[in-house]
Amino acid sequence: EIVLTQSPGTLSLSPGERATLSCRASQSVSSSYLAWYQQKRGQVPRLLIYGASIRATGIPDRFSGSGSGTDFTLTISRLEPEDFAVYHCQQYGTSPPFSFGQGTKLEIK
């Protein structure tokens, strides 16, 4: 089973700043089957990125994903007030289980 570790646990930034969130896998994630989700308080998760770097439909281009193998990054270039939320990474593909990271909380500084 692939274990995903997200860091930091909490990230405190101000609107307009750049956010860099990390997701590290215990073993290589095949074919970059890595997704990022945003979850605001009391809301359902929303798909942001799949295939490590492909933005889902309707996701602003300030969100970008990168990485391969065991190290993946979600970058938000300039934070908007609505971006403060919890972010989850997930690995998927051909071999269950499809684990999630423990989440990174992005909070306003």
Partner 1 sequence: ELQLVESGGGLVQPGGSLRLSCAASGFTFSDYAMSWVRQAPGKGLEWVSSIEGPGRDTYYAASVKGRFTVSRDNSKNTMYLQMNSLRAEDTAVYYCAKDSFSRNGVFDAFDIWGQGAMVTVSS
Nearest Cα residue to 25 out of 76, 73, 94: 73
In b/e form, how buried is each residue of 7-30, taking b as 16+ CB within 10 angstroms?
eeeebebeeeeebebbbbbeeebe
Q: Does 98 bind partner 1 (CB under 8 A)?
A: yes
Fill in the DSSP letter of residue 9: S
Do residues 3 and 98 make contact, with C-beta atoms less than 8 angstroms apart? no
CB of 14 to partner 1, least distance (A): 25
* Residue (14 or 44) nearer to partner 1, CB: 44
69 binds partner 1 (CB under 8 A): no
Residues 7-46, mask of contacts with partner 1 (x by CB under 8 A): ----------------------------x-x-x----xxx
> How much is the CA Rg of the chain, to the nearest whole Å?
13
Residue 59 sits in the site that holds partner 1 (CB under 8 A): no
Distance of CA 46 to the CA centre of its chain: 11
Q: List the beta bridge partners of residue 47.
A: 37
Tell me which residues in 73-92 interact with partner 1 (CB under 8 A): 88, 90, 92
Instruction: Candidates 11-19, 21-29, 64-72, 96-104: pick the segment binding partner 1 (CB under 8 A).
Output: 96-104
Instruction: Give the binding site for partner 1 (CB under 8 A).
Output: 1, 35, 37, 39, 44-47, 50-51, 56-57, 88, 90, 92-94, 96-103
